[in-house]
Amino acid sequence: MDAVPRPPARPHLVRALWGATHPGPTLVVTVLSLALGIAAGVEPLRLALLVTAVFAGQVSVGLSNDAIDGARDAAVGRLDKPIAGGAVTPELALAVAVASAVVAVALSAPLGAGLLAAHAVALASAWAYNAGLKSTPFSIAPFLLSFGLFPSFATLSLPAPGLAAPWASLAGAALGAAVHLTNVVRDLDDDRRTGVRGLPHRLGARASVLVAAAGIVVGGLAVLVGPTGAPSPLAGAFFAAVVAAAAATVVLALRRPPGRAVFRVTMLAALLLAAQLVLA
């Protein structure tokens, strides 16, 4: 007598929740905050608060995204996602997302009103994207705003707070544009089927990747020429690596339909830009 097949085991709840936070981008942005904080000279205790606040904020953004999109993901068969696959309920994910946002804001408060305001605006922008802006031609706006503010998180965490240099904000905004344009290219068809028509959907996959590659180069160039004084050879080497990452996204897009590999290369470019900023 044949054994009755067992349904696949569900992942542990904590592991499933973590899987719904978009772990890759969450960790990359958290590492970026650490690198920028070190470069700005933020003292260890304040740096720990900053990095933890950023991590909590990213958890909030990722969970809210998947909680809001749970039904849409299930409709297109994205059962690999914890919420669409039933491992986590949308209600629980949204509750944890709200709690994480509260933690992020609470940890930002001791670092000053400037960081508190900047982080709150960035989180509100990201939540607005998740809640509906992603389906409009202005879907890129939250990324320009949030990533443009991001370099100031470190400088606003200092005892004498201030905004980051304009060239650093430009680099952040350019990187944000690239992240947005490459993050959704794999899911363009699924998104269209469920009514999502943001800027990348209107541009098309290959055009989105080409614009993203230009954004990566603009970000790297801003970091290279923005600071006063001649760039060091090491900074130049990192800029060359950023340009190589941009070129790789173009090659990947031209050789075959753009997919997740393009986004991974963009995340690599983000880390290279962080290294540039540390050396600037």
Amino acid in position 274 = A
Query: How many angstroms separate the CA atoms of 20 and 110, rounded?
Result: 29
Structure tokens at 95: 């509750």
Q: What is the structure's pLDDT at 7? A: 45
Q: What is the structure's pLDDT at 39? A: 87
Q: What's the residue count for the chain?
A: 280
Domain boundaries, the chain: 10-163, 165-280
Assign residue 37 a region (left: φ > 0; alpha: ψ between -120 and 50; beta: otherwise): alpha
The overall longest dimension of the chain from CA atoms, in Å, is: 79
Q: Is the pTM of this model over 0.85?
A: yes
Into which CATH architecture does domain 10-163 fall? Orthogonal Bundle (1.10)
Nearest to 82 by CA among 24, 20, 25: 20
Tens-digit pLDDT string for the chain (280 aa):
444 444 445 568 999 999 999 998 899 899 989 989 998 999 999 999 999 999 999 999 999 999 998 888 888 877 888 998 889 999 999 999 999 999 999 999 999 999 999 999 999 999 999 999 999 999 999 999 999 999 999 999 999 999 999 999 999 999 899 889 888 877 777 777 777 889 998 998 888 888 988 988 999 999 888 887 777 788 888 889 989 988 988 888 888 777 778 878 877 887 787 777 777 6
Assign residue 136 a region (left: φ > 0; alpha: ψ between -120 and 50; beta: otherwise): beta
Q: What is the structure's pLDDT at 193? A: 78
Question: How many CB atoms within 10 Å of residue 4?
Answer: 5
**Phi then psi for 197, rounded to 5 degrees?**
-135, 75
Mapped to the 3 state alphabet, what secondary structure does the chain carry?
Answer: CCCCCCCCCCCCHHHHHHHCCCHHHHHHHHHHHHHHHHHHCCCHHHHHHHHHHHHHHHHHHHHHHHHHCHHHHHHCCCCCCCCCCCCCCHHHHHHHHHHHHHHHHHHHHHHCHHHHHHHHHHHHHHHHHHHCHHHCCCCCHHHHHHHHHHHHHHHHCCCCCCCCCHHHHHHHHHHHHHHHHHHCHHHHHHHHHCCCCCHHHHHCHHHHHHHHHHHHHHHHHHHHHCCCCCCCHHHHHHHHHHHHHHHHHHHHHHHCCCCHHHHHHHHHHHHHHHHHHHHC
Q: What is the structure's pLDDT at 1? A: 43
Query: How many angstroms separate the CA atoms of 111 and 50, rounded?
Result: 8
Q: What is the structure's pLDDT at 147? A: 94
Assign residue 22 a region (left: φ > 0; alpha: ψ between -120 and 50; beta: otherwise): left
State the number of CA atoms in the 13 A half-sphere of 113 facing the CB.
0
Query: How many angstroms separate the CA atoms of 110 and 88, rounded?
Result: 33
